[in-house]
Amino acid sequence: MDATWMAAGDLAAAVRARKVSSAELLEHFRKRVELHNPRINAVVVFDWERAKERAAWADAALAGGTPTGPLHGVPMTVKECFDVEGLPTTAGHVGLKANAALRHADAVRRLLDAGAVIFGKTNTPLFAGDFQTYNEVYGTTNNPWDLTLGPGGSSGGSAAALAAGMTPMELGSDIGGSIRNPAHFCGVYGHKPSYGVVSLRGHVPGPPNSLNLPDIAVAGPLTRNADDLDLALSVLAGPGEWDAAAWRIDLPAPRRTSLADYRIAICPDDAFCPVDSEIADAISRAGDALAKAGAAVRASKPAIDFAASFRLFYRMLAATLAPGYDDGLLDQLAAGAKAAADQQAMSALFMRGATMRHVDYVRAEAARQDERARWADFFTGYDVFLCPIVMTAAFAHDHSPDIQGRRLKVNGAERGYLEAIGWAGLIGNVRLPSTVVPVGHTKAGLPIGMQVVGPYLEDRTCIDVARHLERAIGGFTPPAGYDA
């Protein structure tokens, strides 16, 4: 059998049925990595020897009648930001090259407890902070659809490895689209869980071995189909170590049992962050396909000022990142915030957010809770909300150090690079789950993804709609040149 494009769930079933061994699967993906990774540079840390030992253990356990879990014997990779005991976790920073993890990240441990065989780690931008994936430690990751383009960020190595058939499942993280953006750029599936559903302990940033739980940020899976997202979420969801004595996470089943029962709101574009017309058109066609298949689909959005909501997100994002800055930089940011001529410019919003007083953060939190209530009210009338994730398809590598000065083309006009976080931040700050599903390609053949956003903690509803859409219009398609 050719395991390259098989679902992770199907690979696990094949191992359990003795159609293939874990050792054989690992060797298959090792050859895929050796063949395709040199030109993509997605997998940047390798752990082949320990993976061979674990695959041999998985096969022996199965022979003894004791499979360990739903991913028993399935080889996979994880984003470099997650600790894997004994392997480096640098988040792309040269100062952390000697940082060998002392223990597994919680999410990695859950994957291993489910039987996964982790053979490597995938690339990320410096401190997971870009819409591209490059750093001084591991270099640049290319998009399998076009090597002159980036795969997105910050889980860019994750999405590129999936799209090139070098791994069947990935673990990523997301604070401003870092799962969703690469899934869109590379044509794969990604799920940003509801905040707090998957533990982030053992993720860099924050600092190595930090016990702090950052706001907004989440960990979640990337795959090549919706069923694997559901499988991965079942494995990953659970309380953190300190909460496990009493808390349980029992995510509800999808709201509806039939597509015909779903009430779907769609917003292919919006003035707060206009998207390229090819993306808006693809999202509209996806909505039409769901309607044709029986769902009730209407143009609608919650009673929220999207532009104001995004400004709130950007300030709170800055506040979340600020503890990693030294006092000197914070003093500079505070001075810059006061001196900014345009207080609504993204640079001013960031400086103001990074240096806001605690009382101002509490007030911002109150505004966020008001938004969350408005979203909850919206989801009494609709089950999911369809919208863009990024305003463009994958774009060319741009490593110019002035990130504020970078530009993207949208409908022929130049836009600020940081505007690419708009649709992601709108959803992330209110802690909602979002599944990115492929919905087509541009005229140039680049993938287009769409967010399926659902009510808080109703992650399985998002994934279920993604599954219905997969059946209606098709899902992942491999880029040319990776069949061998």
**Three-class secondary structure of residue 104 per DSSP:** coil
Rounded to 10°, the helix 327-339/346-354 angle is 130
311: left (phi over 0), alpha (psi -120 to 50) or beta: alpha
Q: Are the C-beta atoms of residues 176 and 182 closer than 8 Å to each other? A: no
What tokens were used for 452?
């399926």
Helix H or strand E segment including 43: strand 43-46
Question: Hey, how many other C-beta atoms are within 10 angstroms of the C-beta on 74?
Answer: 34
Q: Are the C-beta atoms of residues 80 and 157 closer than 8 Å to each other? A: yes
Q: Which is the catalytic residue, given 21, 22, 79, 173?
A: 79
Q: Are the C-beta atoms of residues 201 and 221 closer than 8 Å to each other? A: no
Q: Alpha helix (H) ranges present in 379-444? A: 422-428
Nearest to 105 by CA among 118, 92, 95: 118
Q: Which is the catalytic residue, given 21, 158, 178, 434?
A: 178
Is 284 marked active-site?
A: no
Q: What's the number of CA atoms in the CB half-sphere (13 Å) around residue 177?
A: 29
Q: Are the C-beta atoms of residues 188 and 222 closer than 8 Å to each other? A: yes
CA 471 to chain centre: 22
Q: Which is the catalytic residue, given 21, 22, 121, 154?
A: 154
Is 154 marked active-site?
A: yes
Residues marked active site are found at 79, 154, 178
